[in-house]
Amino acid sequence: MHWSDVVAQRLAERGKKHIVSTGITPSGEFHIGHLREILTGDMISKAAKKAGLDVEFVFIVDSADPLRKVYSFLDDSYSAYIGHQLKQIPPPNEFGMPDLERFSNGVSYADHFLEPFKEALTQIDVHPRFIDNFDSYANGKFAETARQACNNADRIREIIERVSGRQLADDWFPWNPIDSNGSIDGIRVNGWEDPLVHWTDSEGRQGTSDVTKGEGKLPWRVDWPAKWAWIGVTMEPFGKDHGAAGGSFDTGKEIVELFGVKAPLDLTYEWISLRGKGAMSSSSGNTIGPLEALSLVPPEILRYLVASTKPNKAIEFDTGMGLVNLADEFERATARDFSLEMEKEGLSRRQIVAIEDAKTAVELSCISEKEEASLVTFRHLALLAQTKSKDEDVWESLGLSKSVSQVMTDRLQRMRTWIQSKHFPDELRITILEHPDSDAIGLLDDQNMKVLPDLIASLRACEWTVKEIQSAISSAASKNEIAPRSVYRALYLCIMGRERGPRLPTILVELDRDSILSLLDACIQAKKES
């Protein structure tokens, strides 16, 4: 079974009704590494529904978390907000400075980073119920679990120290109060009288915090199981940092029993890294945002990246040729007839599992109709987008001039954006010269010059199709008793100004024949004059 179906089967063993949860702290720009968590949750939810379970998918925004430090993308003035909850501080403007005007209009730091992520989720066909953690504290959702945690402070301390193997501070308490300045840092808890926490802040001021009114928050290792309890979470995927031995899941699954519920089923996933740059991090700025990724590639391919990879396998995201290869793999998968493959005799169990996995990965990836997604390959669209500046010429080449869907329009727009970006691979980049390039002309050797007249004659006489262009090139090579690679070298130098490049016949067929022949004639003349 596909990994999502395995989880769905485990859920079915625990009952009919389930809540699958994911969540992130909006401390900086969301990146496609975050998409692995939410897509994993989305795919598990879909698999569970397919299995007949009653499933709700939720996404928790940890906006009650504090600003930990002044990140690289923030102005130093944000130092005044360290320790303040993300929902309670202003968003950064384009220069990384606090935007007080937007804050006065109701846009917080957390909102600033969450809204683009929500937009990306809509594009990628993920529709969870969002739960804002700050609002949940303020609305009393944590009231009971917070009281239980404070009443069991010693038991929780014992669990964390025993399971994690680390010693907590003598004044540790399972509640972080908010001081009079709005910070939850540097506060010492002096006492507990249900439901009030007594505290002294770093400046010596004293106060009380009512845990039932959200005047503070639970520390992460307690906050997480508290959310499982009041939300009713029965399954949650999370990164390998939380799943490490002695990590927050190990402590959480014991702490949650103090709240009278069982720990959810877990699934630990590996991280997504950027090729050559390591694991993505919002705080370090080593990211590609979901919207940036979706401006380059159809959402189906990003979904396929996660659906086709087992969660315990790391993913290296490559926005160059790796993206092309991923698209090729997706297109091959969508073109397969899985039913026909399953009817073959003598299939081993391993082969059956591979077919089932591939079939489910495609089902979990596709947003538009399968046929529509395969009208043109990723590589061919990259070629057309570079050789035809007008969209209508692209559609005419594909035979779609009468009816073009929004899906295809979006795909072409994304392709044009990718081509113009720094991520587009040089291997696919096409630059067609309008005039001979002097440096390239200087590289034409005797064999190149000898074959060019015959090549021009063959190209002028052939039908302007990929097959006939290939034959014309082979014919010119044969007539001159040289290797075809010498003919291709001459063509690349004359047409693109370099010695090699993408597959030429498929490029030439999309270009005007007369213009190409005129350029080749001009190159012969330029070589003679040089």
167 CB-contact burial (10 Å; exposed 0-12 / middle 13-18 / buried 19+): exposed
Pairing of strands 278-279, 265-269: unpaired
In the prediction, which pLDDT does 426 show? 86
Q: Which helix (H) or strand (E) holds 207?
A: strand 206-210
Q: What is the DSSP letter of 64?
A: T
Residue 402: which residues within 8 A CB-CB, separation 6 or more? none
Six-digit token string for 309: 């990879």
Question: Per-domain residue ranges for the chain?
Answer: 3-141+219-271, 274-366, 373-425, 438-529
Q: Residue 274 forms beta bridges with which residues?
A: 278, 317
Alpha helices in 289-426 (DSSP H): 290-296, 299-307, 321-335, 338-342, 349-365, 370-373, 378-387, 391-397, 406-420
Six-digit token string for 230: 């009041």
Instruction: Encode the chain (530 residues) as per-residue pLDDT tens digits.
Output: 899 999 999 999 999 999 999 999 999 988 888 889 999 999 999 999 999 999 999 999 999 999 999 999 999 999 999 999 999 999 999 999 999 999 999 999 999 999 999 999 999 999 999 999 999 999 999 999 999 999 999 999 999 999 999 999 999 999 999 998 999 998 999 999 999 999 999 889 999 999 999 999 999 999 999 999 999 999 999 999 999 999 999 999 999 999 999 999 999 999 888 776 656 555 555 567 777 888 888 899 999 999 999 999 998 888 888 888 898 899 889 889 999 999 999 999 999 999 999 999 999 999 865 545 557 888 889 999 999 989 999 998 888 877 788 888 888 999 999 999 888 888 888 989 999 999 999 999 999 999 999 999 999 999 999 999 999 999 999 999 999 999 999 999 999 999 988 889 999 999 999 999 999 999 999 999 87
CA dist 367 and 285 (Å) reads 30
CA dist 46 and 8 (Å) reads 9
In the prediction, which pLDDT does 306 show? 95
Residues 67 and 78 sit within 8 Å (Cβ to Cβ): yes
Q: Residue 279 forms beta bridges with which residues?
A: 273
CA dihedral over 322, 327, 333, 336, signed as positive or negative: negative
CA dist 383 and 308 (Å) reads 26
pLDDT in tens, 81-94: 999 999 999 999 99
pLDDT in tens, 426-435: 888 898 999 9
The radius of gyration of the chain from alpha carbons, rounded to an integer in Å, stands at: 30
Residues 199 and 179 sit within 8 Å (Cβ to Cβ): yes
225-250 per-residue burial string, b: 16 or more CB within 10 A, e: under 16: bbbbbbbebbbbbbbeebbeeebbbb
315-339 per-residue burial string, b: 16 or more CB within 10 A, e: under 16: bebbbbeebbebbebbbebbeeeee
What fold is seen in the domain 3-141+219-271? Answer: Rossmann fold (3.40.50)
Residue 95: which residues within 8 A CB-CB, separation 6 or more? 75
Residue 521: which residues within 8 A CB-CB, separation 6 or more? 456
In the prediction, which pLDDT does 371 show? 47
Six-digit token string for 407: 């899906």
Q: Residue 18 forms beta bridges with which residues?
A: 55
In the prediction, which pLDDT does 284 show? 52
| 418 to 376, 413, 514: CA distances (angstroms) | 16, 9, 30
CA dist 465 and 486 (Å) reads 21
In the prediction, which pLDDT does 273 show? 81
Residue 270: which residues within 8 A CB-CB, separation 6 or more? 239, 240, 311, 312, 313, 314, 315
In the prediction, which pLDDT does 398 show? 87
Strand-by-strand arrangement of the 206-210 sheet? 188-193, 196-200, 206-210
In the prediction, which pLDDT does 292 show? 82
Using alpha carbons, select from 370, 380, 368 the residue that is nearest to residue 410: 368
In the prediction, which pLDDT does 271 show? 87
CA dist 446 and 451 (Å) reads 9
pLDDT in tens, 296-350: 888 999 999 999 999 999 988 888 888 888 988 998 898 899 999 999 999 999 9
In the prediction, which pLDDT does 29 show? 87
**Could you identify the residue written with the tokens 């009079």?**
180
Three-state DSSP class for residue 387:
helix
In the prediction, which pLDDT does 276 show? 65
Assign domain 438-529 to a CATH class.
Answer: mainly alpha
